[in-house]
Amino acid sequence: MSPDPVSWLVIESGWDVVGSDGGEIGKVDEIVGDDTEDIFNGLAIASGLFDKVRYVPSELVGEIVEGRVQLTITAAAAETLDEYEEPPASIQILPEKASIMERLGGSTIDRVHADEDRVSFWRKLRVWLAGRER
């Protein structure tokens, strides 16, 4: 008896990602979406410790069961997926008539990682270690 399908909302980093042919693709690195609005955009997946993280749009995600995400494309086709790009930093834009106090205290720019390769390495290491714990 096969496991029951689950919602994208329960996907966790480290889950296995397989192709429609059953071929192993990698591990879930990050889930991309808005859980408050129930909008699933896709997944960032890591194949190996030193490989680039790739992006899987939600329309290529097939069955989701506890611990495993199956794509609607083969493992070979998954190798051609685009590299995952972190969302850009967000900025709060204040109106022109904002006071000096609002401008000094209100304008914020989210921290941006200066060394994306280093960040990607540590993220991949975390996902790889999470997969070994299972």
DSSP state, residue 10: G
Q: Where are the domains of the chain?
A: 8-88+115-133
42-48 mean pLDDT? 91
pLDDT digits (tens, 9 = 90+) for 90-116: 555 556 666 665 555 543 333 333 344
Q: Which residues contact 16 (CB under 8 A, 6 or more apart)?
A: 24, 27, 28, 67, 68, 69, 131
Is the domain covering 8-88+115-133 a CATH 3.50.50.60 domain?
no
57-83 mean pLDDT? 95
- pTM to 2 decimal places: 0.66
Is residue 75 helix, strand or coil? helix
52-69 mean pLDDT? 95
pLDDT at 123 over 70: no
Q: Which residues contact 122 (CB under 8 A, 6 or more apart)?
A: none
Token pair belonging to 73: 């494309």
pLDDT digits (tens, 9 = 90+) for 3-26: 899 999 999 999 999 999 999 999
**Mean pLDDT of the chain, nearest integer:** 79
Q: Which has more pLDDT, 78 or 110? A: 78
pLDDT of 85 reads 84
Q: Which residues contact 12 (CB under 8 A, 6 or more apart)?
A: 28, 31
Q: Is 53 exposed, middle or buried (0-12, 13-18, 19+ CB in 10 A)?
A: buried
Token pair belonging to 15: 């889950």
pLDDT at 65 over 60: yes
